[in-house]
A and B are shown apart, each in its own frame.
Chain A
């Protein structure tokens, strides 16, 4: 069975500090990977997606960047956090086989920027 693990579970960071969030997918080769951001009480905003190692497409950057260094790993980062970065970050994967794919979400990372 496939599993998705996100880390850390929660972070409290200062404005201007760097950030790195990650997720790992086990049990599925070559998945499509996604980063979503959810403001408190808000909808999901897709940030990035990747269909293969080393390739990441930006949907909305929000002064963040993403990388896929390995087939099963997706990293979200920034060098300087803003207050507006606070929220809930969700990583997801889909099989990459075509139409109407189900997204499988991680448990998320709660980020508070002070």
Chain B
């Protein structure tokens, strides 16, 4: 079965700084990887996903993630964060023919003005 680890429960950065949120997955087959964002008191929204091709995927609002198979990682990055990026970010992995991804514990991002 697949699983996801997000080692950082909380991350605080200053506005304008760069950001990396870490995600490690465990799955013996070909993983399908996702990053979702959850703003306060809301459901989750997809930021980006990877299932094949270029290992660097671009998402909404300037986010990108890189799939590194050798490291079983799918870290999320942003060059310059804005205060509105404050939210909880979830990494998720699904297997072939498994429509429901397994989510990590989430990383709460706080952006200081």
What is A's interface to B at a CB cutoff of 8 Å?
32, 34, 42-44, 46, 49, 51, 59, 90, 92, 94, 96, 98-108, 110
Q: Among B36, B43, B51, B105, which residue has its beta carbon within 8 angstroms of that of A108?
A: B43
Q: Among A43, A92, A101, A108, which residue has its beta carbon within 8 angstroms of that of B104?
A: A43
Query: Residue B11 at the A interface, CB < 8 A?
Result: no
With a CB–CB cut-off of 8 A, which chain B residues contact A110? 41
Contact B103 A43 (CB under 8 A): yes
What size tier do the contact residues of chain B reach?
20 to 34
Within the complex, what minimum Cβ distance (angstroms) separates B19 from chain A?
21
Given A105-B44, A108-B43, is A99 in contact with B105 using a C-beta cutoff of 8 Å?
no
What is B's interface to A at a CB cutoff of 8 Å?
32, 34, 36, 41-46, 49, 51, 90, 94, 96-97, 99-106
With a CB–CB cut-off of 8 A, which chain A residues contact B101? 103
A105 to B105, CA, bound (A): 17
Known: A44-B103, A102-B34. 7 other contacts (CB 8 A): A43-B106, A46-B100, A49-B100, A90-B44, A92-B43, A100-B94, A102-B46
